[in-house]
Amino acid sequence: MSRTTIELEPALPEGVLQIFATAVEDAVAQRYPDAAVKVGFEAPRRPEFGDFATNVAFSLAKVAKRSPQDVAAQIVADVRSRAPHLDTLFSSIEPTSGFINLRLAPGIWQNVVAKILREGARFGEFPRNGKRISLEFGSANPTGPLVVVQGRSMSLGDALAHALRFSGYDVFVEWIINDAGGQLDTLGRSLYARYRQIYDPTFPFPEDGYPGDYLRPIARDLSERDDEKWVDSEEAAWLPYFATFGRDRLVEEQRATAERFGVRYDLWQSERELHESGKIREGIDRLRELGHTYEDDGALFFRATEFGDDKDRVLIRRDGRPTYFAMDVTYHYQKMLRGDRVIDILGPDHHGYIGRLKGLARALAYDPEAVHVLIAQQITLMRGSEQVSMSKRAGDIVTLDEIVDEVGVDAARFFFILPSAESPLTFDLKLAVEQSNENPVYYVQYGHARIASVLKNAAAADIATAQQNPDLSPLSHAAELALMRRLAEFPEMVRGVAEHLAPHRIARYARDVAADFHQFYTECRILSDDAATRVARLALCLATKSILARALGLAGVSAPDSM
């Protein structure tokens, strides 16, 4: 019995394609016994060519000594002869310019809708694979409120975490509190100046200080708590107090902003804590054990050039103080110990970290291919045609809370992930609040709300039938088929996000689903006078609503039932 007699019940696109691939392999083995082929599929160059295409004939042309088109035509003839049952699975199998173009029978796409209705939010979800991922996204000096840069990293990271969990991974998400450098002393001096200005408005502000107004309410709280206690104190007395108070207050505010933004971390890792706990030495000691360090002029170096870096890196300075790179070593060593993969989302000035961290992984006997760095490019903030100034040093900062106040969490998160992380983002605040098809998040959410409106106007009995036991055979209109094809892409889309670290695919997919639904809504009367058609289209609406809600949820965006 030929392998092509395998039957799937119900038949789904991936299974049907496998049946066809097996039929092709059988036919090739008979006609070209010395040829080894692997049949792959891709989307045709134009939708009118079909749902899928394979270029297998091109790899056989040399062996067959015939043109790819002749080979493709012969393969199609052989497959039709050997596996006539394929005509029930495909509405067309056509050789075109050397490709074999395939169009699945409507029933296959209808089976996808039925599966979505059965499984709901579990549709396409992968089983747990036991793999652990340490995902670091979002970090900031605890010297001010979160700004749009952190908003983009948080949106990208949280969406990626959702996709990875959907794909079967256990994900541990982390935030780094950069509180071990000299910036904390600068914060302390800046906060002290704001405190002193409460009593003496002429008190000078440090030239290298943080001039934003966000320190004034913290200074007032200190004044109410301690009154004039610190006015006549020496810097050695007040500096650690003001630096620690300012850090703790600002980290607390950063946590509150992250929560408001819908992002929750498993760990807020303090750099200072790594130093004070002695963990900063663990990674360094491991490099020593492996023979990858040496001393020179009283300092301890990592032999980074042996692992692809442009120079060896100082770990411990001559005065015994660890460098910032030493913190990176220790922190990533901790992550490598607890994770099968390590993913960092870093800012646009961190391109050098990609090779550096992979080299560090090799030095620590960890698979460098399991270390990934995603660079989130810079943001240009616009309000219509006017660019919005963003300079923390100058005090002209736009906080993430201000962005959320102006456009809302949904618009901010959707806009932040819409371009790929490697692409610069131009964020138009004016567009983000427009209720028009030009606003991508409004366009997608309106699709979900439009479905909810349709369902609200449908008879309860029709909805019940559509949910539980619909006859989907009436779904054969071109717009219906296009929408069903799009819904079927959902699991593979999410897997692609996880595999390629590409959360922007979620937003673009959601936009495509909404576009296909709006087209279906325009071309097909959903609440048809024909009962069978009406129920089938309501079932398609329910499946689409489920997929849209899940895609928006992966992006951290709500799926409203009304707009």
* Cα separation values, 426 from 397, 419, 430, 480, Å: 17, 9, 12, 34
CA proximity to 331, closest of 320, 342, 321: 342
Count Cβ atoms within 10 A of the Cβ of residue 310 and give its class: 0-12 exposed, 13-18 middle, 19 or more buried: exposed
In a domain, 345, yes or no: yes
| CA distances for 255 relative to 273, 296, 346, 406, 484, angstroms | 17, 42, 19, 20, 41
Whether residues 235 and 335 fall in one domain: no
Last-in-domain residue among 241, 260, 279: 260
Residues 491, 519, single domain; the answer is yes
pLDDT value of residue 6: 37
449 and 533 assigned to the same domain: yes
Q: How many domains does the chain have?
A: 4
Look at residue 161 and tell me if it is in a domain: yes
Separation of alpha carbons 518 and 451, rounded Å: 10
Residue 323 lies in a domain: yes
Structure tokens at 60: 């056989």
Question: Do 472 and 497 sit in the same domain of this protein?
Answer: yes
Which residues of the chain are under the pLDDT cut of 50? 1-9, 394
Q: What is the pLDDT of residue 482?
A: 96
Tell me, yes or no, whether 144 and 274 share the same domain.
Answer: yes
Based on the domain organization, do 47 and 86 belong to the same domain? yes
Q: How many residues does the chain have?
A: 563
Residue 113 domain-assigned (yes or no): no
Q: Assess if residue 54 is contained within a domain.
A: yes
Helix (H, G, I), strand (E, B) or coil at 529: coil
Q: In the prediction, which pLDDT does 1 show? A: 33
At residue 336's C-alpha, the angle toward residues 332 and 339, to 5°, is 130
Q: Would residue 95 count as lying in a domain?
A: yes
Q: For position 356, which CATH number holds?
A: 3.40.50.620
Q: Are residues 20 and 48 located together in one domain of the fold?
A: yes
Q: How far apart are CA 54 and CA 50, in angstroms?
A: 11
Among residues 340, 375, 410, which one ends one of the domains?
375
Same domain, 248 and 298: no
pLDDT of residue 10: 65
Paired sense of beta strands 299-302 and 313-316, if any: antiparallel
CA distances from 367 to 289, 328, 416, 512, 552 (A): 18, 17, 31, 37, 34
370 and 276 part of one domain = yes
Tell whether 153 is covered by a domain: yes
CATH code at position 51:
3.30.1360.70
Residue 25: which of 75, 70, 61, 96 has the closest Cα? 75
Q: Are residues 284 and 231 in the same domain?
A: no
Q: Which of 375, 407, 431 is the last residue of a domain?
A: 375
DSSP 340: S
**CATH label of the domain that carries residue 467:** 1.10.730.10
Q: Which domain holds residue 486?
A: 440-554
Does residue 77 lie within any of the structural domains? yes
| Shared domain check, 542 and 450 | yes
Q: Looking at the structure, tell me whether residues 7 and 40 fall in a common domain.
A: yes
The pTM score is 0.92
